[in-house]
Amino acid sequence: MPVYEYHCDKCRREVEITQSISEHGKGAVACPKCGSTALRPLVSSFFTQTSRKS
Ligand SMILES: [Zn+2]
């Protein structure tokens, strides 16, 4: 499953969340650290192209 990177406004840190594509499409995502849904996706083609392979 793909890993998405978000910035949590509550933790003020970046978190990685593994989501299925269908889950990602729904936009229902919560911070794994604090449970906040105040997450902003880090949309960066740079990251997706250079991130480590899973
Ligand atoms: Zn958080």
45 CA distance to ligand 1 middle (Å)? 23
21-30 as b/e: b if 16+ CB within 10 A: eeebeeeebe
Number of structural domains in the chain = 1
Give the per-residue pLDDT at 4.
87
Instruction: Please report, as a single letter, which amino acid is at residue 20.
Output: S
Distance 35 CA to ligand 1 centre (A): 6
pLDDT of residue 44: 58
Band (48; pLDDT cuts 50, 70, 90): low
Domain extent for 23: 3-50
The pLDDT value given to residue 29 = 86
Mean pLDDT calculated for residue range 13-21: 89
48 alpha carbon to ligand 1 midpoint, in Å?
A: 22
pTM score: 0.65
pLDDT at 25: 79
pLDDT of residue 47 exceeding 60, the answer is: no
> Could you give the CA distance from residue 39 to residue 51 in angstroms, rounded to a whole number?
20
CA 2 to ligand 1 center in whole angstroms: 20
- Cβ–Cβ under 8 Å, residues 8 and 31: yes
Q: Return d(Cα 23, Cα 25) in angstroms, integer.
A: 5
